[in-house]
Amino acid sequence: MTTHYMRVKNKATGHEFDIPAQSFDPEKYSKVDPKRYPETTRPRRPKPNVLKAGRKTAPVKTDKE
Give residue-wise pLDDT tens across range 6-63. 999 999 889 999 999 999 999 999 999 999 999 999 999 999 988 776 666 666 667 7
Distance of alpha carbon 2 from alpha carbon 40, whole angstroms? 10
Is 10 within 8 Å of 28 (Cβ atoms)?
Answer: yes
What local confidence, expressed as pLDDT, does residue 19 receive? 95
pLDDT of residue 2: 80
Query: How many Å apart are CA 7 and CA 46, to the nearest integer?
Result: 9
Which SS3 state, helix, strand or coil, does residue 63 take?
coil
